[in-house]
Amino acid sequence: MFNWVKTSILMAGIVALFAVVGQLIGGAQGMMIALVLGGAMNLWAYWFSDKMVLRMYRAQEVDATSSPYLYNIVRDLAGRAQLPMPKVYIIDEPQPNAFATGRNPEHAAVAATTGILHLLSERELRGVMAHELAHVKHRDILISTISATVSGAISSLAQFGMFFGARDERGRPANPIVGLIVALLAPIAAMLIQFAISRTREFGADKGGAEISGDPNALADALAKIHSYARGIPMETAERHPETAQMMIMNPLSGGGLQGLFSTHPDTAERISRLRAMATGRV
């Protein structure tokens, strides 16, 4: 419940930021134009991004015949979660990782790399796939799409203000210093809120996945292994398309970038600690 409250507050914050930036840079008309354009782009992404991402990673769909091990794990967990059976994919990548995609539970897919299949035990893999199914159950793809829509619209407004100058309600040039400050800082603020939403949803999927699998320690053990191994194994596709990093159960980018506020994923040690607490009944 706390994660949903926090997500709601963050979503309200990014929408409020959009309204303020829109008024300062483009006035009401500029704000609406940016929102419509950003919404159209992300609506298209919401419907088709799953196919794009799976194609991008050259994911191969498998079934009970071609990969009974992974497929049966997902089928059992989907039944426990009372979800429709998602499509199952394998990605030929040595880095251990996994992700879920799809616009709703009826059109969902889960994908695992060959690296994670080789690294984890069956119990740990169940924990990971339960985490991905929790994303599906919580409709986190929708949430991330909405936050990306507003964040993208804010960036568009900021670029408009940078090149054409801020305008007031009557179309008159606004204070250029204010416009420049907003143009520089607004996209950063939007990105921070978007990343905070992503981290919150990861915590929610950890909790939901532990409940689906019935074994919080399985996911905790898996996260510890993935964190240890993934850092030393690059994922070239993710490095070419860093916007996909937030989809993974663990940040796939080598070098990691800035931590904390600028991370799409929560601190692994904190994720593990929360799962251990769940296992002992302390939360």
Please report the pLDDT score of residue 230 as a whole number: 80
Please report the pLDDT score of residue 183 as a whole number: 65
* 132 is annotated as an active-site residue: yes
Domain ranges, ordered by start, for the chain: 2-279
> Which parts of the chain have pLDDT scores under 50?
2, 256-258
Single out the catalytic residue among 106, 132, 211, 236.
132
Please report the pLDDT score of residue 143 as a whole number: 74
Give the per-residue SS3 of the chain.
Answer: CHHHHHHHHHHHHHHHHHHHHHHHHCHHHHHHHHHHHHHHHHHHHHHHHHHHHHHHCCCEEECCCCCHHHHHHHHHHHHHCCCCCCEEEEECCCCCCEEEEECCHHHEEEEEEHHHHHHCCHHHHHHHHHHHHHHHHCCHHHHHHHHHHHHHHHHHHHHHHHHHCCECCCCCECCHHHHHHHHHHHHHHHHHHHHHHHHHHHHHHHHHHHHHHCCHHHHHHHHHHHHHHHCCCCCHHHHHCHHHHHHECCCCCCCCCCCHHHCCCCCHHHHHHHHHHHHCCCC
Model's pTM, two decimal places?
0.78
